[in-house]
Amino acid sequence: LAKTTQPISMDSYEGQEVNITCSHNNIATNDYITWYQQFPSQGPRFIIQGYKTKVTNEVASLFIPADRKSSTLSLPRVSLSDTAVYYCLVGDIRVFNTNAGKSTFGDGTTLTVKP
């Protein structure tokens, strides 16, 4: 199972771009990379998911190099409300995979956005 490593914490200021990198050296061929945001006493909330190269949606971008051993979540122009814990999740939750559901969360990166 892919183990993930993220920085424990990051600080930023409102309006800046924030990049959070996750290392997952033993990612498997069928694994996807998913990033979640979690506020205190709430469940994780989906941000973005990718398999390779670059994915962009309305809130973030995800960069995955060719070897897929790391990924970078990019949050453009953060605001105070982006202060949260960010998790990268590597795995294949599809039920047709014999290891279905055995996705691995890291310990997350606590992002603090300052005014």
Measuring CA to CA, how many Å separate 19 from each of 12, 30, 92, 102?
10, 25, 24, 26
Report the length, in residues, of the chain.
115
Please name which of 75, 64, 61, 58 lies closest in space to residue 109, comparing C-alpha atoms: 75
What three-state secondary structure class fits 36? strand
**Closest CB to another protein among 72 and 99?**
99
103 touches another protein by CB under 8 A? yes
**Closest CB to another protein among 43 and 115?**
43
Helices (H), the chain: none
Q: Which of 3, 52, 54, 94 binds another protein (CB under 8 A)?
A: 94
Number of residues this chain uses to bind another protein (CB under 8 A): 29
Please name which of 26, 24, 30 lies closest in space to residue 87, comparing C-alpha atoms: 24
**Closest CB to another protein among 76 and 101?**
101
Site for another protein in 41-60 (CB under 8 A): 41-46, 49-51
- What is the binding site for another protein (CB under 8 A)? 32, 34, 36, 41-46, 49-51, 87, 92-96, 98-108
